[in-house]
Structure 1
Amino acid sequence: MVTAYRHEPFTDFTLEENQRAYDEALAYVKKQLGKEYPLIINGRPVTTERKITSINPANTTEVIGTVSKAEESQAEAAMQAAREAFKTWSKWDPAARANVLLRAAALIRRRKHEFSAWMTYEIGKTRKEADADTAEGIDFLEYYARQMIELKPGIPVNSRDMENNEFHYFPLGPGLTVSPWNLPFAIMTGTTVGPMVAGNTVMLKPASNTPVIAYKLMEVLMEAGMPDGVVNYIPGSGSAIGDYLVDHPHTHWINFTGSKEVGTRIYERAAKIQPGQQHLKRTAIEMGGKDTIIVDNDADLDLAAASILYSAYGFSGQKCSACSRAIVHEDVYEDVLEKTRKLASEAVTGDPVQRETYMGPVKDQEAYDKIMEYIEIGKKEARLVIGGDGDNSTGFFIKPTIFAEASPDARIMQEEIFGPVVAFCQARDFDELIEIANNTEYGLTGAVISNNRAHLEQARTDFHVGNLYFNRGCTAAIVGYQPFGGFKMSGTDAKAGGPDYLLHFMQPKTVTDQF
């Protein structure tokens, strides 16, 4: 019997001893900054001449680490290592593969604040956000390990007197994981170890903004007993090695989380059969969102404002699930807007190393420029209520920003900004609230704040999103509790952290033994 899964608890930072423990982890990690890291191919370090430099977005003078940059020749070497390792790893007992993940989870749990502190420095996560990121990574390791043990005996099918029928799952082969920078430990871990525990071998291309935290996972997986070549760590550019491996005839699957532009490009390229390719490539493509919180006129307005605040400004709005649209019934619109404005005005923006910081920087100059450009667009389309200010003199800081009286078809209501910007729009009744919520090409997350059960039941079917929440914010899905993935142009809805996620990286086989 598989042990019941319970998610990794979040750290209570209201306790002084937990704050002190995090301070100690920050001090320890700070001493490690500036080191060089190699690629890892077939379990061995590989150093290249070209490098990726990871910079602290809250202090651009601080180098987190310098990482070797993979080119096409290293990508091909990783493919060959993955193909060779697949021959044996795919035949390991699923429970033995799961044990590698369970041991890795235990190792990370003992160093939880250290892993979180790396993210505070490398991508500007506050204590709470970094702690949740590390906890989710541990959850993915634990949950997928247990899911694989559940799948080990196969699925029962009918047999007859004259025959015995069996139905089992088998791994696909080598594949490519392209992980994002915004949940640089959690999503990177889940999209790597899910296919891995299913018996596949992996070429891991982490985001160029966050290669160091990905290297830390590699260290743990190797310490946990992962064989050489099972996961190959090859940070590099998408155009140089991403396209090469997506197109490669021996790539069996691609697991991508990122922008719609890159995701749709991968989806298209993966569909083309290359010379020597004898299979169709599987894709798990998770992309963006333009996520909405609906507030009707029978809602707890304080709950609504608090839900909008943490959904819009958690990690500076740099989540595909972040609330960037608040659609509010006209009867309570001004009240919700003012309550949210007041909360946003109290949110401290600054260096995430500091305990009191609610919101840290955005990821880099490119993101800063894009968000500030959208703020200028918003000033022409709607009324600026609060924020709109940026400062990139020492890091990439943008104040929490609210726009009001936005039109449903305004650019700030339709396009993914990926920053601390939320637009308010009002509607006459619940039907119009739902209609506006559904008027984007995305369908990732959404929330409804209401005490009207009829409205909630209507939203259950009519609000077209993959993750729908009632009377809470639209972010913070928990592995095993709220499987995550979206409708429409938000992706293939692979439902990370769900009971059928591993099946995307396996193929079922029926064996009939006739007597």
Structure 2
Amino acid sequence: MSESYQNYVNGSWTDASTGETFETNDPAAPNEAIASYQQSDVEDANAAVEAAAAASEEWAETPAPQRGAVLRETAQNLAARKEELTELLTREEGKTHAEAGGEVQRTIDIFYYYAEKTRDLGGKVKSSSGERTNLYTKNQPVGVAALITPWNYPIAIPAWKIAPALATGNTLVLNPASVAPGVAIAIFEALDDAGLPDGVANIVTGPGSSVGDAMITHEDVDAVSFTGSGEVGHMVYDAATDDGKRVQTELGGKNPTVVSNSADVEEAADIVAAGRFGVTGQACTACSRAIVHTDVYDEFVDAIVERAEAIEVGPGDEYDMGPQVSESELEGTLDYIEIAKEEGATLATGGNRLEGDRYGEGYFVEPTVFTDVENDFRIAQEEVFGPVLSVIEVEDFEDALETANDIQYGLSASIVTDDHTEAERFVDEIEAGVAKINDKTTGLELHVPFGGFKQSSSETWREQGDAGIDFYTIEKTIYDTF
């Protein structure tokens, strides 16, 4: 029998007011139920927000190092369950065991990081023009935060929203994606075991169209943090800002890796393959476009095709690349493969759903490479959330940079080159929030800002590191004259 989970509201594990539940399934074996969750609605969301609002003042007044102690113990609790959570993430979302384990470890590290940051929270002392005036600033929590997170990093993304919010004295409500909410609930189990006061952090599962909407429009919510699709993100942004709420959104990407004629082609192929086919291509920072200098284009195509064909696909506990998370995601990827063919791109390898033997009814697709792609093709302009790479040929560095920037997104980008001048120009001129040299587009350090340009984010507040603290605090200036 599958596990059954409840909402966590005001320090108690509770059923949804609807009395209804929904199930998650293993994307490698869709007929296998993993767990059941509460099918919550507006009433449940409102109760969670009200609990967070009631707990807000007391948590804000709790000394920051005491808040840090709760986060530190939460990290310890998660670490004690690392293997269990890794297996749950693999079964519910489809990542390989190594990928899932890395994500769980990142979550642990995030809670440890913000636990230590609580020791340094405060303001700044400034010199005053008056002789008897002490002039300084202090940072105060925003209040109640509504957090809405996606399925592709179902424990790390909630963690990098929850930990800074709690560290800075905010209370919160989380609505995780319904595809894989189990590991997010584990965070709240760890917080509860760490002695977090009632109402400070709450989680309500169920559809974002009702639960999420009720959260972001509730009058007691002061800040909204959303990660997900551009279409939904723009609606979230409009709804939150109409009410004067502080808001940050991260909305996806169409990330390029430029391969220079000075690059080591074998190294470039390794970098692009890791950035495109890792986590089954289901990352907002995944490399979607390889923009390759004509002098090394043919050699690169041969190398990247070789890398793609060497990947062993199957259930995540045994193979190099797991399934897509759901049937709809798989169908979306297969649709884009057909669109690319119709547009005139050349299918160099892959392009098929994998069936039979070890694949069963799972949502598996071959690592896919298209060549002869023009940058105005839909396959090169629209986000494909699967293991599909477009290879675009360019004449020189100027052409490569222009092609890389000729897109509505601007999240992550990289260049593979041995030319220092190219590298320096690339990081200066690329229109992306993350720029890398001789590295894959995926992979983020937790102590530096993360966010995009253009349609990849609201371009308001960054996440992670000190930027995460900035989003959840308001600075007040104090004139103290006696």
**Partner-residue secondary structure (3-state), 1:375:** helix
Contact 1:39 1:69 in 2 (8 A): no
Amino acid at match of 1:144: Y
Deviation string, structure 1 residues 286-332 (Cα, Å, up to 9, x no partner)? 11000000001000111100011010011110000000100000000
Taking the aligned partners of 1:120 and 1:335, their CA distance within structure 2 comes to 35
Q: Comparing 404-413 with 230-239, which one deviates more in the overlay?
A: 230-239
Partner of 1:486: 452
The question of whether the paired residues in 1 share the 8 Å contact of 2:50 and 2:220 is answered with no
Following superposition, the deviation at residue 90 of structure 1 comes to 0.9
Structure 1 residue 469, shift from structure 2 partner = 0.6
Query: Residue type of the partner of 2:353?
Result: G
Partners in 2 of 1:206 and 1:75 — Cα distance?
A: 12
Of 217, 242, 248, the match for 1:272: 242
Q: Counterparts of 1:397-416 in structure 2 under 5 Å?
A: 397-416=364-383
Shift of 1:149: 2.1
- Over the matched positions of the two proteins, sequence identity in percent amounts to 34
1:378 corresponds to: 340
TM-aligned CA deviation for residue 100 of structure 1: 0.8
State whether structure 2 residue 202 is matched by structure 1 residue 232: yes
| Residue aligning to 1:158 | 127
The 4+ residue runs of structure 1 with deviation greater than 4 A are none
Map residues 418-429 of structure 1 onto 2, 5 A cutoff: 418-429=385-396
Q: Distance in 2 between matches of 1:58 and 1:175?
A: 35
Deviations 1:418-443 (A, max 9, x none): 10000000100100000000011100
Amino acid at match of 1:194: P
Distance (Å, rounded) in 1 between the aligned partners of 2:82 and 2:298: 42
The CA distance in 1 between the partners of 2:116 and 2:246, in whole Å, is 23
Deviation readout 1:387-431 (Å, 9 max, x if unpaired) = 001146511001100000100110000000110000000100100
Contact residue 101 and residue 193 of structure 1 kept, 8 A? yes
Corresponding residue number in structure 1 for 2:272 = 308
| 1:488 partner letter | K
Name the structure 2 match of 1:97.
Answer: 67
Counterpart contact for 1:72–1:244, Cα < 8 Å: yes
Is the 2:241–2:247 contact (alpha carbons within 8 Å) kept by the matching residues of 1?
Answer: no
- Residues in 1 aligned to 2:430 and 2:57: alpha-carbon distance in whole angstroms: 45
In the TM superposition, 1:63-462 aligns within 5 A as 63-152=33-122, 154-159=123-128, 160-273=130-243, 280-354=244-318, 357-381=319-343, 382-391=345-354, 394-462=361-429
Q: Tell me whether 1:473 sits opposite 2:440 in the alignment.
A: yes
Q: Which residue of 2 aligns with 1:5?
A: none
Q: Is the 8 A contact 1:136 1:478 kept in 2?
A: no
Match of 2:202, SS state, is strand
Aligned partners of 1:501, 1:79: CA distance in 2, in Å?
A: 21
Query: AA paired with 1:426?
Result: E
1:497 aligned residue (464, 467, 470): 464
Amino acid at match of 1:478: E
Q: Deviations over 1:19-50 (max 9, x none)?
A: xxxxxxxxxxxxxx711111111011211311
Unaligned runs of 5+ in 2: none
Task: Encode CA deviations 1:335-368: one digit per residue, 9 max, x unaligned.
Answer: 11110100110100001121xx111000101111
Whole-Å separation in 2 of the counterparts to 1:161 and 1:106: 49
CA offsets 1:246-304 (integer angstroms, 9 cap, x no match) = 1111110001111111111111111213xxxxxx3111111100000000100011110
Residues 462, 471 of structure 2: 8 Å contact kept: no
Aligned letter for 1:387? G
Preserved CA contact (<8 Å) 2:125 2:137: yes
| Cα displacement string for residues 223-246 of structure 1 (whole angstroms, at most 9, x for unaligned residues) | 111111111110111111211221
Residue type of the partner of 2:218? H
1:139 is displaced (CA, Å) by 2.0
Amino acid at match of 1:389: N
Matched, 1:513 2:476: no
| Preserved contact between residue 54 and residue 212 of structure 1 (Cα < 8 Å) | no
TM-score, normalisation: structure 2: 0.96
C-alpha separation in 1, matches of 2:408 and 2:217 = 27
Post-superposition shift, 1:63?
A: 1.2
Q: Provide structure 1 residue ranges, at least 5 long, that are not aligned to the other structure.
A: 1-32, 274-279
Return the alpha-carbon distance in structure 2 between the equivalents of residues 495 and 200 of structure 1.
17
Normalising by structure 1, report the TM-score: 0.90
* Count of paired positions: 473
2-structure distance, mates of 1:53, 1:202: 25
C-alpha distance in structure 2 between counterparts of 1:397 and 1:504, whole Å = 38
> Is the Cα contact below 8 Å between 2:248 and 2:462 reproduced in 1?
no
C-alpha separation in 1, matches of 2:403 and 2:113 = 36
